[in-house]
Amino acid sequence: MFELRYFEDVVSLECDREKCIGCGMCAVVCPHAVFTVKEKKASMIARNLCMECGACMRNCPTGAITVEAGEGCVRAIINELLGLEGPCC
Amino acid sequence: MNTPVDGKSPMMVLPMAKEVPAGAGTFRLPAVDQCFVLGRVTTKVGQVPSVGSELFTKDLYGHFLVRWNIGRDHFTVEPGLYALGDPTVDSPVLVTANYKMTFDLLRRTLVGRHVWILVLDTKGINVWCAAGKGTFGTEEMLDRIQASRLGEVVSHRQLIVPQLGAPGLAAFEIKKHAGFRVSYGPVMMEDLPEFLDNGYQATAKMRIKKFPFKERLVLIPVELMQGLQQGIWLIAFFMLLGGLVGDGPFVQAAFINGLPPSLAVLVGIAAGNVVTPLLLPWIPGRAFSIKGAISGLVVFFIVFAASGIWAMDYSWPAGLSWLLITLAVSSWFGMAFTGASTFTSLNGVRKEMLRAMPAQFIGIVAGVILWAVSVWSG
C-alpha cells in the first residue's frame, strides 16, 4: 500500500541471457533491485521498477544489458522533443 | 598492478573516450587555502589538504542557501585528493563529487575515521545526477587517479565508490586502465560506517534507493523557488492586463481582475511544488501530472473558499478560469517533480509528458481566454 511506483511496461531495459556471464554486477549497482542472479544468469525480477539510470548497462562487462538511459527531467525531454541541445537541471 | 604513467592520459585508449580536457591527468593536489581545509598531511607525492568531520556555521549557512536555490551552481570544492583525519598508506579511499554539500555530508558521516577522499570534478553536481550526465564517470575517475598520483599515496588498489555513481562509470574499466578495484558502497551515506566495518559488504537493503518523506521535504525550497521563478511571469501578465483592460483606475482594476488569477497561479505552484512532493505516495494516480492536478483541485477549493473570493461577486467564467489556471500550473509542476524523484524512468516521463502537455497547454490557454472574456465583459 502507498508504494511509490511509476508506470508499468514502459521501460526499455533488456537483458541478453546468451551474453550474460552471471557476474552479478547488475544486481549490485541497481538501486531498485531489478536483477537477481539465478543459475549463473542475471534475471530481471522487477523490470517495472527500472528507472533507466543505466548503471547495470554501464557496469556489464559483456554488454549483455541494454537500456535507453538518460535524464528523465522535463527540460531535457522538451529539448529533445524540440530537437535542441541544451543543459538539463 | 598498473599505475598510469605520468603525462599520458589513460583516457586515450578508451573506446568511449570523450575529448581530453586540457591539463587532464597532470599532477595536481587541491589548494590548502579553501575555507574548510584544516591542515595538511604529508604523503609521498606532497602535502595533501586535510579536513575534519565537524561542520562549521559557514558550511551550514552555505547548505541553507543552496537548499533555497541560491548559489547552487557555484557550491564546489576543488577536485582532487583530500585527507580526512590522519590516513595512512593502508587507509580506504572514498570517491565523491565536488558539490560541497556532498563533500561536507560525507566527511560529517565519517566522524572519527581516517580515510582518503578522492573528489571528482562533477562541476558542482551531486554524485547521482553527475553520474547520469557522465561527469561522474570513467574518464574523470581515471584522470583524477592519475592527477592525484593515488597509486603512490596508498599501497592498496581499492576504491569505494557510491553505488549511485554507477550510472556514470564502469568498475571493470577502472580496474583495467588504472588497476584499482571498485567496491560500490551503499546508496545512502548514513550506511557507510557499517559498510566500512563489515569489510566493504553492503546489505541488500543498503542497495535500494527509497524516497522517504524527509528526503522529499528537503527538496521543497528549491522546487518552490524554481516554481516562483516561472510563475512570476504569469502573475505579472495577469496583473498588468487586468489593470489595463478592467474598468476604473489601473491599480484598482489590477487588484480586482488580476489578483484572483494570480492567486490561482500561486495555488498551482504550492500544489505542484509543495503538496505533491510531500504527499506523493498518498495522492491517487501514478502520473505525476495527475497527482499535481488532484492536489491543485483540492488546494484551489480550500484557498478560494477560505479567502472568501469564491463568495464574491465574480462571474462564473471568471471562477472557471481560475480553476483551469490552477489545474494547468499544478499539473505542470507536479510533472516537473519527476526530475527530482528517485523512481521515474526516461521513457515513462516522455510518455507522460506527451500526454499531459497538450492538456496543460489547453488548460492554461482556455483559462486565460475565459479570464480575458470575463474581465472584458465584466
Question: What's the pLDDT tens digit per position in B183-214?
Answer: 999 999 999 999 999 999 999 999 999 999 99
Q: Is A89 on the interface with B (CB under 8 A)?
A: yes
Task: Note whether A74 contacts B339, CB cutoff 8 Å.
Answer: yes
Mean pLDDT score of chain B, rounded to an integer? 93
CATH of B10-207, one of 3.40.50.720, 1.10.490.10, 3.40.50.11600, 1.25.40.340: 3.40.50.11600
DSSP string, B310-352: GGSS--HHHHHHHHHHHHHHHHHHHHHGGGT-SS--HHHHHHH
Closest-CA residue to B191 (of B231, B162, B228, B211): B162
Question: What's the pLDDT tens digit per position in B169-189?
Answer: 999 999 999 999 999 999 999
Distance CA B128, CA A86 (A): 19
Q: Taking chain A (89 residues) in consecutive chunks of 10 residues, what is each chunk's mean pLDDT?
A: 84 96 97 96 96 97 95 84 70
For residue A88, the model assigns a pLDDT of 56
For residue B18, the model assigns a pLDDT of 54
Task: Note whether B348 contacts A6, CB cutoff 8 Å.
Answer: yes
Would the pLDDT of B9 be above 70? no
For residues B53 and B84, is the Cβ–Cβ distance under 8 A? yes
For residues B244 and B237, is the Cβ–Cβ distance under 8 A? no
The single residue listed with the C-alpha cell 543459475 is A39
DSSP string, A28-78: HH-TT--EEEETTEEEES-GGG-----HHHHH-TT--EE-------HHHHH
For residue B20, the model assigns a pLDDT of 59
Distance CA B216, CA B111 (A): 26
Higher pLDDT, B137 or A74: B137
Structural domain spans, chain B = 10-207, 213-377
Angle at B300 between CA B295 and CA B305, to 5 degrees: 140
CA B280 to chain centre: 18
Q: Provide the 10 A C-beta neighbour count for residue A3.
A: 7
Would the pLDDT of B2 be above 80? no
CB < 8 Å & 24+ apart, contacts of B253-260? B257/B375, B257/B378, B260/B304, B260/B309, B260/B314, B260/B318, B260/B322
Task: Tell me which chain A residues have a C-beta less than 8 angstroms from the C-beta of B169.
Answer: 58
Higher pLDDT, B165 or B26: B165
Distance CA B345, CA A73 (A): 9
Average pLDDT on B94-98 reads: 98
Distance CA B300, CA B302 (A): 5
For residue B148, the model assigns a pLDDT of 96
Q: Which of B243-247, B257-261, B336-340 has the lowest mean pLDDT?
A: B243-247
Which domains are delineated in chain A? Answer: 14-81 (3.30.70.20)
Q: A83: distance to nearest CA of chain B, Å?
A: 14
Task: Note whether B345 contacts A61, CB cutoff 8 Å.
Answer: no
DSSP B11: G
- Per the DSSP assignment, residues forming a β-bridge with B83 are B50, B116
Lookup: cell for B164: 549511485
Task: Note whether B347 contacts A10, CB cutoff 8 Å.
Answer: yes
Would the pLDDT of B366 be above 50? yes
Question: What ipTM is given for this predicted complex?
Answer: 0.94
Query: Which chain B residues in 130-149 lie under 8 Å from chain A, judged by CB atoms?
Result: 131-133
Mutation target for A interface from B279, B349, B351, B357: give the one with most A CBs within 10 A.
B349
Question: What's the pLDDT tens digit per position in B297-311?
Answer: 999 999 999 999 988
Task: Tell me which chain B residues have a C-beta less than 8 angstroms from the C-beta of A30.
Answer: 207
Among A5, A72, A89, the residue with its CB nearest the CB of B349 is A72
Q: Is B14 exposed, middle or buried (0-12, 13-18, 19+ CB in 10 A)?
A: middle
**Residue B244, SS3 per DSSP:** helix
In this structure, what is the dihedral angle of CA atoms B282, B284, B288, B293, given to the nearest 10 degrees? -110
Task: Tell me which chain A residues have a C-beta less than 8 angstroms from the C-beta of B133.
Answer: 71, 88
Average pLDDT on B8-32 reads: 64
- Percent of chain B, pLDDT > 90? 90
For residue B7, the model assigns a pLDDT of 38
Question: What's the pLDDT tens digit per position in B46-79?
Answer: 999 999 999 999 999 999 999 999 999 999 999 9
Q: For residue B19, what are the contacts with CB-CB under 8 A and spacing of at least 6?
A: none
Q: Provide the 10 A C-beta neighbour count for residue B168.
A: 29
For residue B248, what are the CA distances in angstroms to B77, B252, B256, B370, B375? 56, 7, 10, 21, 12
Would the pLDDT of B14 be above 50? no
For residue B16, the model assigns a pLDDT of 45
Task: Tell me which chain B residues have a C-beta less than 8 angstroms from the C-beta of A4.
Answer: 210-211, 280-281, 341, 343
Would the pLDDT of B265 be above 80? yes
For residue B4, the model assigns a pLDDT of 38
The helix (H) or strand (E) run that includes residue B94 is strand B93-97
Would the pLDDT of B233 be above 80? yes
